Structure 1
Amino acid sequence: MTDWKWWHRAVFYQIYPRSFADSFAGDGIGDLPGMIERLDYLKDLGIDAIWLSPHYPSPMVDCGYDIADYAGVAPEYGSLEDFKCFLESAHQRGIRLIIDLVLNHTSHMHNWFMESRSSKTSPKADWYIWKDGKNGGLPNNWLSTFGGSAWEYEPERGQYYYHYFFIEQPDLNWRNPEVKQAMFDTMRFWLDLGVDGFRMDAIGTVYEDLHLTDHKASVTQADLYYRLWMKPTKEEHKFLREQWIKMYVHQVDQPEMAGLLRELRSVVDEYDDRVLIGETDKIVYCAEDMLHMVFNFPLLETDKLTPEWVRSNQHNRLTALAQLCCTPPGAWACNTLGNHDSPRVYNRFGDGKNNDVLARLHLALLLTLRGTPFLYNSEEIGMTDLPLSDIRQFRDTLGVWMYQTMTSVLEVPPEKALSIAAQASRDKNRTPMQWNNKRNAGFTPPEIEPWLPVNPNYKDGINIAAQENDENSLLNYYRSLLNIRRRTPALIEGDYEVLHPGS
Structure 2
Amino acid sequence: MAEKKWFQDAVVYQIYPMSFQDSNHDGIGDLNGIVQRLPYLQKLGVDVLWLNPIYKSPNKDNGYDIADYKALNPVYGTMADFDHLLAETHRHGMKLLMDLVVNHTSDQNAWFQASQQSRTNPYADYYIWRDPVDGHEPNNWQAAFGGPAWTFVPARGQYYLHLFAPAQPDLNWENPKVRESVWDIMRFWLDKGVNGFRMDVINYISKPAGLPDAPDGGTAGAVGDLVADGPKLNDYLHEMNDKVLSHYDVMTVGEMPGSKPEDAIQYTGLDSHELNMVFQFEHVSLSPNPDTRLGKWNDQPVKLTELKHSLSRWQTELDGKGWNSLYWNNHDQPRAVSRFGDDRPEYRALSAKALGTALHMLQGTPYVFEGEELGMTNVHYTQLSDYEDLESINFYHEFVDQKHLVDGPTMLKYLANISRDNARTPMQWSAEKHAGFTDATPWFALNPNYKQINVDAELADQDSVYYYYQQLIKLRHENAIILYGTYEEIDPQDDQVMTYRRHYQGQTLLVMVNFTDQTVTRDYQQAKADRLLISNYADDQGTTLRPYESKVYLLQD
Aligned residue in 1 for 2:462: 471
Distance 2:281 2:392 in 1: 22
Moved more, 354-363 or 411-420: 411-420
Determine which of 430, 437, 440 is the counterpart of 2:424.
430
Distance 1:20 1:484 in 2: 27
Distance 1:385 1:157 in 2: 45
| 1:390 to 1:317, Cα distance in 2 relative to 1, 3 A | closer
Question: Is 1:120 aligned with 2:119?
Answer: yes
The CA deviation at 1:301 is: 4.2
Determine which of 258, 275, 287 is the counterpart of 1:291.
275
Q: Which has the higher contact order (CA 8 A, sep 6+)?
A: 1
Does the 8 A contact of 1:129 with 1:162 survive in 2? yes
Moved more, 329-338 or 102-111: 329-338
The CA deviation at 1:156 is: 2.2
SS at match of 1:109: coil
Moved more, 265-274 or 251-260: 265-274
Distance 1:298 1:425 in 2: 17
Question: Is 1:90 aligned with 2:89?
Answer: yes
Aligned residue in 1 for 2:393: 400
SS at match of 2:358: helix
Q: Deviations over 1:38-84 (max 9, x none)?
A: 00100000111011111111111111000001111110000111111
The CA deviation at 1:326 is: 2.4
- Amino acid aligned to 2:247: Y
| 1:248 to 1:308, Cα distance in 2 relative to 1, 3 A | closer
Moved more, 329-338 or 151-160: 329-338
Give the fraction of aligned pairs with identical amino acids, expressed as a percent.
40
Aligned residue in 1 for 2:365: 372
Q: Deviations over 1:358-415 (max 9, x none)?
A: 2111111111101111110001111111133443342211111112213321235444
Determine which of 307, 315, 340 is the counterpart of 2:331.
340
Distance 1:410 1:18 in 2: 34
Distance 1:267 1:87 in 2: 24
Moved more, 64-73 or 408-417: 408-417
The CA deviation at 1:420 is: 3.5
Aligned residue in 1 for 2:8: 8
Moved more, 492-501 or 403-412: 492-501
Determine which of 338, 350, 354 is the counterpart of 2:341.
350
Does the 8 A contact of 1:296 with 1:336 survive in 2? no
- Amino acid aligned to 2:180: Q
Aligned residue in 2 for 1:184: 183
Distance 2:387 2:313 in 1: 39
Q: Deviations over 1:124-156 (max 9, x none)?
A: 001100111011211111111111111100122
Question: Is 1:210 aligned with 2:215?
Answer: no
Q: Deviations over 1:446-476 (max 9, x none)?
A: xx1101101111112x000011121111111
Distance 1:99 1:458 in 2: 28
SS at match of 1:342: coil
The CA deviation at 1:298 is: 3.4
Aligned residue in 1 for 2:155: 156
Distance 1:149 1:164 in 2: 9
Aligned residue in 2 for 1:21: 21
SS at match of 2:318: coil
| 1:434 to 1:404, Cα distance in 2 relative to 1, 3 A | same
The CA deviation at 1:31 is: 0.3
SS at match of 1:250: helix
Aligned residue in 1 for 2:293: none
SS at match of 1:118: coil
Aligned residue in 2 for 1:252: 228
| 1:174 to 1:307, Cα distance in 2 relative to 1, 3 A | closer
SS at match of 2:55: coil
| 1:214 to 1:307, Cα distance in 2 relative to 1, 3 A | closer
TM-score (norm. length: structure 2): 0.80
Aligned residue in 2 for 1:265: 241
SS at match of 1:326: helix
Moved more, 133-142 or 343-352: 343-352
Gaps spanning 5+ residues in structure 1: where?
226-243
SS at match of 1:71: strand
Distance 2:107 2:55 in 1: 14
Distance 1:81 1:307 in 2: 46
SS at match of 1:476: helix
Q: Root-mean-square deviation (CA), in Å?
A: 2.3
Q: Deviations over 1:204-254 (max 9, x none)?
A: 111222212112215x84xxx9xxxxxxxxxxxxxxxxxx34x44433321
Determine which of 434, 453, 474 is the counterpart of 2:445.
453
Q: Deviations over 1:472-499 (max 9, x none)?
A: 1111111122112212122113333445
Moved more, 258-267 or 417-426: 417-426
Distance 1:149 1:453 in 2: 31
Distance 1:481 1:27 in 2: 36
The CA deviation at 1:355 is: 2.4
Distance 1:124 1:114 in 2: 9
| 1:422 to 1:410, Cα distance in 2 relative to 1, 3 A | farther
Aligned residue in 1 for 2:98: 99
Q: Deviations over 1:422-467 (max 9, x none)?
A: 544311221000000100000001xx1101101111112x000011
| 1:424 to 1:476, Cα distance in 2 relative to 1, 3 A | closer
Aligned residues: 472
The CA deviation at 1:348 is: 1.0
Distance 2:11 2:392 in 1: 31
| 1:4 to 1:441, Cα distance in 2 relative to 1, 3 A | same
SS at match of 1:496: strand
